[in-house]
Amino acid sequence: MAPVKEDYPLMTLRSVTYRIQSTSPSHLPAIVPHLAAVLPSCKSVLSAPQTSGGKDASEAAVLVHKFRTKLSTLLQDRSIEGRWSAVVLIKAAIELGGWEMLQKSKPWVTGLLGILSKPDPSTTKILTIIALTRIFMLTRDFQTLVREITTPSLPPFITKCLSILEDTKWTSGDSGVSRLQSTIIESFTHLITRHPTIFRTHCSRIKQRLAVILVAGATVYPADGLAAARKLFIQLTCCAPKNGAQGEWDKTFNALTANAHQTADKVFRAVIEEWESSTGVKPSLNSAQVLDDEPQQQEPDLCGLPAWSGIYAGSDRLISMIKLLEAAAITSTASGAPVNIKISNIMDLLTRILSVTAPGMSLRRKNQNSDMALNDQIGKAERSALWIVLPDIHAAAIDFFGVLVERLSIALTPVIAFFQERLMFIFQEEKLSEQVRKAVYRVLGQILPITGPTMTAAQVKNFHPVMISCCEDLLPRDKDAANAQPTVQKPANGAGKAPQATMNADTFLGSATKIEQSVNNGTRHAAWALLPIFLTQLPSQLLENSMRSRIESTAVLIQHKEALLASVLNMSPTKIMASLLPLLARLFPEAPEVEALLRPRMPVLKKGTFDDAVDNVDDEEDDEDDEEESERQSDAGAIGQSNDAEKGFPAADIARAIEPEEQYVDQALTAATVNPVVEVASAETGLGKRTSVDPAPQAPSPKRARLVETASSSNEKDVTPVTTATTTAGAIEEDDDDDDDVEIPTLIMDQDEESEGEE
């Protein structure tokens, strides 16, 4: 028989406890992943309120106590495998048990802190730091647990972590060691905003270790570790006493800006800058000053970072300052108080950085009037090194502006137009650098939604180089295309022998040619995201046909659904061009967007039961019956009118029907007296015959029935209708088809009148 549903969590927890007890600690790491995977089934038991014990203790409470005791024993095990298994299971139990597990986790916290002091591997320490960080974060919602667990345990945790960071044996270039240090920094970023008072006494030591990590850079630490270090550097401002976090943030921001200018003075000393500060920043070096052999910072800077020497170290320091300013702009403050971001100081720094370009590239530009002046005191080697590091510095500056646009959005509109000009200039100079292209693609993806719809034709044309480069980065290229071209060898002695062409023999093999991407994933992803923005955010009537064709061709070749949709939905209102809708429907027939474009008026298919469907069918049948009934009534009314017309209208209706015929009779009598050609009958029975000179009378409405009653003669003859204009429904339809015909009244005369006319 299957187990009862209510007993399944209890049975699972009993099984997990038995496996932990029956397995030796050295073999536990092999089954711990399975045990941690089945523990969520025991959440209802682990999080249930437990009794204090005694006779009233339930079976579940006894089993949970036994499980917790086994983990505490395993945490104190002598083997590394046992302690590693205990850390993993404790982390899972804390996540599932909630307050019931947290209130009794004090022994676990003590044991976890002890692991940080033992010579365990870096993987065990990483898991221990993660488990302790999670416990400290979960206790924040319970003030009692904060006083009992977090307040006494967090200071030793910070101290032990800083000891690991400062220990010389943990400063090697091992990937596990760098991952451990990155984990410690990331743990501090989560805890410092929640407990700034506890971290206040450790700020100086933390800042010293952060300086070492930031100087080492990406050569030692992973990218996420460096990002966490920059974030923690900015978050240290929240530890200021007496609500001074806002003032400390402003002080740090100003120090970073000033330090960036001082570093730029030394890095850019190979050229004479034409930049003039708009915020009163004065360069620390001048052209008349005698410079050292190489750029260097001999003492710690304003931010506490150590000294540096060399153009490459200086460029890394300048990039670090830009990244720290970026972290200051994007990191939220813990106190919630607003801070002042000085846009003028930031734009002043970015303008200075983007104003320095390589003169060798500028010489190839026909529209460049003058090149940057070079400093004669600097040798060629340092200038060449500056041209090498410039693209990386420019890419960091462009990324910083993209973060500002993401953070401030339309509030940055007044400076976006100026930045676009500098951005296009830098792109044309350094588009061979993938870092620059990727940064430009990203920032344009954020700028164009703000300023794109209001651009002029000249501004749109300035983006053509970026559009071409974006399409080229997305298209696959032939790896061996260059090798397929023959190279001609010139004769050495100048003889007139025919030159011989050499080719790579592997190019003739079909398997040698492979289509590969020539750009990395970051650049390709940025170009992929930017391509549809050109069609959606720029005015479609200002985009040239050749450029639009290039973008659309690229979208078709790479099967870019968003770009194809943007092309179909944003056609030019002034130009006639073919639509890509057939190709879109063929490439993505199952996409809901394509279905909405192809069938925009399709009725919605509602989901319901069979009874609802039957009710809907009955309603439709009732509607059809009502329509048929109304049609029959209308047809019967039309037939009734026709019969009434044949039998005779009432006196009032007959008078209205005869009224236009009496006018025809008067016209005929008048014409007979004036024109002798017209033969006039008796005034009582005849109608005048119209000549070709007389204007044709307007035909009566074909949809109105008319009756003409012949006047009785003096001999009291039977009344016979001269002309019957009453028609049935079918006759009315025939009159509708012949609206242009004019009805001509016929003149009828008696025999006496005919004889008089012959005489």
- Residues 695-725: pLDDT tens digits? 444 545 444 444 444 444 444 444 444 444 3
In-domain check, residue 214: yes
Q: Please indicate, yes or no, whether residues 413 and 462 belong to a single structural domain of this protein.
A: no
- What is the structure's pLDDT at 605? 64
Q: Please indicate, yes or no, whether residues 403 and 544 belong to a single structural domain of this protein.
A: no
Residue 278: name the closest of 438, 435, 418 by CA: 418
Which of 128-137, 410-419, 511-520, 666-675 is most confident? 128-137
Q: Which 8-state DSSP code applies to residue 707? A: B
List Cβ neighbours of 211 (8 Å cut-off, separation of 6 or more): 303, 304, 305, 306
Q: Please indicate, yes or no, whether residues 464 and 330 belong to a single structural domain of this protein.
A: no
Helix 413-430 crosses helix 464-474 at what angle (to 10 degrees)? 60
In-domain check, residue 605: no
Examine the pLDDT at 380 and tell me if it is beyond 80.
yes
Q: Are the beta carbons of 462 and 427 closer than 8 angstroms? A: no
In-domain check, residue 299: yes
Band (pLDDT 50/70/90 cuts) for residue 669 is: very low
Return the amino acid letter for 658: I
Percent of the chain at pLDDT > 90 equals 38
In-domain check, residue 155: yes
Residue 85: name the closest of 115, 124, 111, 114 by CA: 124
Which of 226, 242, 258 lies at the terminal end of a domain, its last residue? 242
Q: Please indicate, yes or no, whether residues 347 and 407 belong to a single structural domain of this protein.
A: yes
H or E element that contains 308: strand 308-309
- What is the structure's pLDDT at 521? 82
Q: Which 8-state DSSP code applies to residue 150? A: I
Q: Judging by DSSP bridges, how do beta strands 477-478 and 515-516 pair with one another?
A: antiparallel
CB atoms within 10 A of CB 333: 17
Strand stretches in 377-467, DSSP E: none
Q: Please indicate, yes or no, whether residues 202 and 274 belong to a single structural domain of this protein.
A: no
Examine the pLDDT at 447 and tell me if it is beyond 90.
yes
Which ranges of 139-273 does DSSP label H, i.e. alpha helix? 143-145, 151-166, 175-191, 196-199, 203-216, 223-235, 245-267
Q: Please indicate, yes or no, whether residues 167 and 109 belong to a single structural domain of this protein.
A: yes
Q: Please indicate, yes or no, whether residues 524 and 558 belong to a single structural domain of this protein.
A: yes
In-domain check, residue 323: yes
Examine the pLDDT at 739 and tell me if it is beyond 50.
no
- What is the structure's pLDDT at 424? 92
CA 703 – CA 676 distance, rounded (Å):
36
Region 41-60: mean pLDDT is 73
Q: Please indicate, yes or no, whether residues 70 and 204 belong to a single structural domain of this protein.
A: yes
Q: Please indicate, yes or no, whether residues 370 and 283 belong to a single structural domain of this protein.
A: yes
Residue 109: name the closest of 160, 40, 184, 33 by CA: 160
Examine the pLDDT at 639 and tell me if it is beyond 60.
no
Strand stretches in 405-522, DSSP E: 477-478, 487-489, 500-502, 515-516
Q: Please indicate, yes or no, whether residues 222 and 74 belong to a single structural domain of this protein.
A: yes
Examine the pLDDT at 319 and tell me if it is beyond 90.
yes
Band (pLDDT 50/70/90 cuts) for residue 339 is: confident
User: Domain tally for the chain?
Assistant: 4
Query: Residue 550: how many CA atoms within 13 Å on its side-chain side?
Result: 18
Domain of 544 in residue numbering reads as: 455-479+514-573
Which residue in the block uniquely carries the two structure tokens 């209208």? Answer: 649
Band (pLDDT 50/70/90 cuts) for residue 686 is: very low
Which of 538, 573, 608 lies at the terminal end of a domain, its last residue? 573
Q: Please indicate, yes or no, whether residues 25 and 138 belong to a single structural domain of this protein.
A: yes
In-domain check, residue 594: no
Q: Please indicate, yes or no, whether residues 191 and 255 belong to a single structural domain of this protein.
A: no
- What is the structure's pLDDT at 152? 94
For residue 482, give the 3-state DSSP assignment.
coil
- pLDDT-wise least confident of 417-431, 519-533, 604-618, 677-691: 677-691
CA 42 – CA 541 distance, rounded (Å):
63
Band (pLDDT 50/70/90 cuts) for residue 173 is: low
Region 351-360: mean pLDDT is 83
CB atoms within 10 A of CB 68: 21
CA 330 – CA 401 distance, rounded (Å):
11
Examine the pLDDT at 275 and tell me if it is beyond 90.
no
Band (pLDDT 50/70/90 cuts) for residue 57 is: low
Residue 583, strand partner residues: none
CA 686 – CA 667 distance, rounded (Å):
12
- pLDDT-wise least confident of 121-130, 283-292, 462-471: 283-292
As a whole number, the mean pLDDT across the chain is 77
- What is the structure's pLDDT at 169? 59
Which of 527, 557, 573 lies at the terminal end of a domain, its last residue? 573
- What is the structure's pLDDT at 510? 46
Q: Are the beta carbons of 419 and 343 closer than 8 angstroms? A: no
CA angle 582, 587, 592 (to 5 degrees): 90
Q: Count the residues in the chain.
A: 759
In-domain check, residue 501: no
Examine the pLDDT at 730 and tell me if it is beyond 50.
no
CATH code, domain carrying 234 = 1.25.10
In-domain check, residue 613: no
